[in-house]
Chain A
Amino acid sequence: MSGLIKSSIARKVVMALSGLFLVIFLVLHVTINLASVFSPDFFNEASHFMGYNPIVQFLMQPILVAGVIVHFVMGFVLEIQNKNARGMAYVKYKGSENASWVSRNMIYSGLVILAFLFLHFYDFWIHEMAYKYVEVKPEDPTRYYAETVEKFEPFWRTILYVIAFVLLSLHLWHGFASSLQSMGVNNKYTEGFKKFAKIFAVVVPLAFVFIAIYHHLNPITH
């Protein structure tokens, strides 16, 4: 087992598992967010549950943050090792002849998503922490819909979110589809899984784009 921790294969498995965990989280996230378009009441209810349920707050949320940190720290470690492994760079290197742009640039799509996470945490998580623990305001299960829609009023924020979702789509396109390969799974279901992963990589970010643009175009009028 000690050799496993240090091995390149184990590092890849960690990337795949943490990535798959984040994919599951995305499903939950997009489902609740879609409710903000189709049923503001359900969105308020679900958001309040996520914001105040102790299991979500003190168990699931720290696990999620840990998952994000493990994924991007390991991503950086692997990128540095991989750059070092080449040694001297080629004068001419035709990467596009044998591999897709997305697969060769996961670090860049990942960095954009990471930068987006800072904005996203600033927009929602820090605001939420301030509401609950700094300003110590009372529970208000009806505030979430208005707060969310308000966030998408500025054009610049909506555009930044949309750009991040496009990069998320590219990242998932390669990452999700190749996760099982990293974990050693390759059988008669693999091609089907890859197709599903690529549909997922388009549909889920597209749903997020739809939500952001929908709220931008339908502000709450006071």
Chain B
Amino acid sequence: MKLYLKIWRQKDAQSKGKMVDYTLDGVEGDMSFLEMLDILNEELVSKGEEPVEFDHDCREGICGTCSLQINGEPHGPDRLITTCQLHMRKFNDGDTIVIEPFRAKAFPVIKDLIVDRSSFDRIQQAGGFISVNTSGNTIDANAIPISKHAADEAMDAAACIGCGACVAACKNASAMLFTSAKVSQFALLPQGRVEAADRVQNMVRQMDLEGFGNCTNTGACEVECPKGISLTNIARMNREYLSASIKG
């Protein structure tokens, strides 16, 4: 199929970017979206032009590295998948595809379609961990009884791959779904309760410091999340935060 691509090109973080039009022929339905971009880049390189820079790593939908706002939606029109798992059969011959970087003040563009998502790392570093004694007498985690329900919910929250689609989709560029998933995966387990109050306060403080927007419960994040992280995590984080703040 023949596609008309409109891609955001930006030389570096300081430069002003713009949309550039490309026409790409010979795209097959079985190609992944990133493979389609690989072919475009091969053409660009053979013509002596700068290839389009984009993030990718595992290409198996599990690492959270790929991003891209495709035709107005993070990771494209499909649900519960990342861009690397999006296949060109979702598009038709002659389609125009608009490809932009994830947009948020807290995700500044580094080059072309690559954004700096280290704000997520800093939120995680602010409290997304548990303190475990690793000096040789570590207790087996399975020695602590955990209900199936709590284990399942914690696992569901831990499925977040930190790709940033929630921020990209949210009209407010809010990072509440990501932060709440990271808070929840620990808050639901006994090992995480020890530092629960500090964790939620520190992570929310860091989230606010990074300049993400406020949640207005539109639910766009949940719809676009490639891992199906639920809004119930946001309610849990709000609850944890209010309880921790009031208790002081």
Is A6 at the interface (CB under 8 A from chain B)?
yes
- The verdict on A97 contacting chain B, using a C-beta distance below 8 Å, is yes
Decide if A1 is an interface residue (CB 8 Å cutoff): yes
A3 pairs with B173, CB closer than 8 A? no
- Is B169 interfacial (CB-CB < 8 Å)? yes
Q: How far is the CB of B180 from chain A (nearest CB, A)?
A: 10
B98 touches A92 (CB 8 A): yes
The range of chain B's interface size is 35 or more
Of B98, B100, B224, B238, the residue contacting A9 (CB under 8 A) is B238
Q: Which residues of A contact B213 (CB under 8 A)?
A: 81-82, 84-86
Of B27-35, B48-56, B202-210, the one contacting chain A is B202-210
Interface residues on A, range: 35 or more
DSSP majority for the A interface?
Answer: helix
Once the chains bind, are B174 and A85 in contact (CB under 8 Å)?
yes
List chain B residues, Cβ under 8 A from A100: 218
Chain B interface: which of A29-37, A48-56, A150-158, A178-186? Answer: A178-186
Query: With a CB–CB cut-off of 8 A, which chain A residues contact B246?
Result: 1, 4
User: Could you write out 21 A-B pairs with CB less than 8 Å apart?
Assistant: A4-B245, A7-B204, A7-B208, A9-B237, A11-B214, A82-B214, A84-B105, A85-B211, A85-B212, A86-B104, A90-B103, A91-B6, A91-B100, A97-B72, A98-B218, A174-B217, A178-B217, A181-B238, A183-B242, A184-B243, A185-B239
Chain B interface residues (CB < 8 Å from chain A): 6, 8, 19, 69, 71-73, 77, 98, 100, 103-106, 108, 169, 171-174, 176, 201, 204-205, 207-208, 211-220, 223-224, 231-232, 234-243, 245-246, 248
